[in-house]
Amino acid sequence: MHTPYHYVEEPRHARLFASPLLEPLSQTTWVAVPLTWLPVAAFLWHWYAASPAASLAGAATILATGLLLWSLVEYSLHRFVFHIDDALPESGLALTGHFLLHGVHHRVPMDRYRLAIPLPLLGWDVWHALFGSGLIG
């Protein structure tokens, strides 16, 4: 997993599943992250702004706190969950889950469809990787 694979020819993406139905479910682009979370943040921001307790200072504090917490959560996930190599159990389920969450990004770092994992489909991907058509990567 820690030895990167570099594609010489197009297409420059890693194929994980033999099934043509499962493969697209395991891909996403980086833009999926802001498209998922910006509407949630906008809704919460609007909800706060419409409340009687809303103030400019409160809005600025919430924005700064949100940016700080987001940065800390992203860093912590990457550092302490995605790179948990030494503490990871040597079981097929743990290794497959770890690979699908982050290992594939290190295996093919230039694959633009593997920079973020489609989290709503993670359960589907793990199930089929273990019991379905099989993991090829």
Structure-block tokens of residue 96? 């497959």
Would you state the pLDDT for residue 120? 46
User: What is the reported pLDDT for 32?
Assistant: 79
Asked whether the beta carbons of 32 and 133 are under 8 A apart, the reply is no
Point out the residues of the chain with pLDDT beneath 50: 120-121, 133-137
Q: Is the pTM of this model over 0.75?
A: no
Predicted local confidence at residue 65, as pLDDT: 92
Alpha carbons 128 and 135: distance in angstroms, whole number: 8
